[in-house]
Amino acid sequence: MDVEVVDFRDEFAIAFASLNYQWIESEFSVEKHDREILDDPRKWVIEPGGQIFFALVDGTAAGTVALIPSANGVFELTKMAVSPEFRGQGIGDRLMEKCVKFAAETGAKSIWLESHTKLAPAISLYRKYGFVETPPDPNSLYQRADIRMELAIERSAV
């Protein structure tokens, strides 16, 4: 399987939304902040200086993830999704590698994320890449979040 990881293009905005709405609706309820990001990714991710990556298989978006600047030198990793038919094939790894490389190249100090512990494959992927659990954010924009994790970016990651 040939996988190409590419940056956001407006033509992929629908895939970004549909891949994420699918998993969120199957596991949880869609929340206000989900809708904001998914319905206007250019405003919420790209314009503030973030990036959305897409894993393409034969031109089809098989997975996606977003990095949103949240503070000076810090990114939030959010909206990671892999289409069910492509799960277990290394798509998440390819997306995670791209996120860590992007953060390092932009001089970021860390990446943080919020998730839910019932998403065991996602939590396992984050741990594999060095994310460690940190105290939860009492001001989280997501009711479903029950775990917060952070990755310190090493300068050698570039």
Domain boundaries, the chain: 3-157
What's the predicted TM-score (pTM) here? 0.94
Q: How far apart are CA 30 and CA 47, in angstroms?
A: 23
Interacting residues of 145 by C-beta distance below 8 A, sequence separation 6+: 114, 115, 116, 136, 137
CB burial class (10 A; 0-12, 13-18, 19+) of residue 115? buried
Q: Does residue 158 have a pLDDT over 50?
A: no
Interacting residues of 105 by C-beta distance below 8 A, sequence separation 6+: 158
Strand 110-115 and strand 60-71: pairing?
unpaired
Tens-digit pLDDT profile for residues 35-83: 999 999 999 999 999 999 999 999 999 999 999 999 889 999 999 999 9
pLDDT score recorded for residue 49:
96
Q: How far apart are CA 10 and CA 16, in angstroms?
A: 10
Q: Does residue 28 have a pLDDT over 50?
A: yes
Pick from 84, 91, 42: nearest CA to 66: 42
Tens-digit pLDDT profile for residues 8-27: 999 999 999 999 999 999 99
The values of phi and psi at residue 29, to 5°, are -110, 145
CB atoms within 10 A of CB 144: 17
Place of tokens 């990001």: 37
Pick from 43, 51, 92: nearest CA to 68: 51
CATH of 3-157, one of 3.60.21.10, 3.30.1360.70, 1.10.540.10, 3.40.630.30: 3.40.630.30
3-state secondary structure of 122: helix
